[in-house]
Amino acid sequence: MANSRDIIVEQEDANCRLSTWVKRNDRRLNFNSVNTLCRKGLIRVNGIKAKASHRLVIGDVITIPSFSLSITDDVASAKIDPKLAKLLLDAVIFKDKHLIALNKPEGLASQGGSSQGTRHVDSYKSTLQFDAKDSPRLIHRLDKETSGILLLARDVKTASTFATLFRDKQVEKIYWALVEGVPKKEKGILESYIGDVDIWKPRSNLGLIEQKKSRQYNNKKKALTFYQVIEKIGSKYAWLELKPITGRTHQLRIHCSALGNPIVGDRKYKNSEDKNSHDLPYSFKKLFLHARCVTFIHPISKKTIEIEAPLPEHMGSVWKHFGWKF
């Protein structure tokens, strides 16, 4: 369809109703308007007209009009900010005929939302088209506050293939984080059931629950994260390597907070102000979470690909300040 875009369903959206997914991503739309768009065939799944009640599966390609998922303007007609376009071009750290990897800056959203307007990667993906026939497609997402590797597919087939790779846990992702305090154990696996992050509050266990806790938590999904302490500064700070085994929304941030070691700069999931923030040479208002590395078997060349993203300035300066080698 003209003036439309494709979005790949990720693990966290699996088994979600199509109408719920659309409404969640564009709060202007009510269920009646979503039903109308589906009935007219303006919203499709895998190129086929779909009912609003359709249950999504990982790897589904949702085709949706570009006027939807954009709260203010049609992305296609939005005025391009040359500075933001250059920022994205400079952020390219890997490119071949099938795939692009960005080192996404902290503070830039992957996709639009209720307050993002058109200043997000998805609205500027045409600047990353290069010599391809079409603009690239986001394969997954990073939180706005999280920096690091963001993958885009340069064709629908590659996008669908990577959705399968993510579903089958064939893409290894490594994050680096600076956390407050030092975990009691040097390494381990964090296991919990994470629900709607919008209702998570500090000093409560609404975001993290145990499986045995009754039927009211049936909508919670199991979340697993491997962590390891790489370096530490006394008992004040620790450098953690985080490997998400599952892919839930805000999983790493919630897990670190539940561990008792919230990520520095995480104002959403920390219980109190960081008393040691004066020790940092850079503003602690930015999130110290970075998608450092991804490793996978390239679906076309079958070669093992490992991509590393340099640390953003605010994290790199702290690593140097503490004398940590990276």
Catalytic residues: 143
Tokens of 208: 């993290």
For residue 179, give the H/E element and its range. strand 172-180
Gap between the Cα atoms of 128 and 154, Å rounded: 9
Question: 3-class DSSP state for residue 273?
Answer: coil
b/e burial code for range 193-207 (CB count within 10 A of at least 16 → b): bbbebeebeeeeeeb
Nearest residue to 225 (alpha-carbon basis) of 202, 243, 209: 243
Gap between the Cα atoms of 261 and 183, Å rounded: 7
Nearest residue to 75 (alpha-carbon basis) of 123, 112, 108, 3: 123
Strand segments (E) across 197-279: 208-209, 221-233, 237-244
For residue 173, give the H/E element and its range. strand 172-180
Report, in angstroms and rounded to the nearest whole number, the Rg of the chain calculated over CA atoms.
20
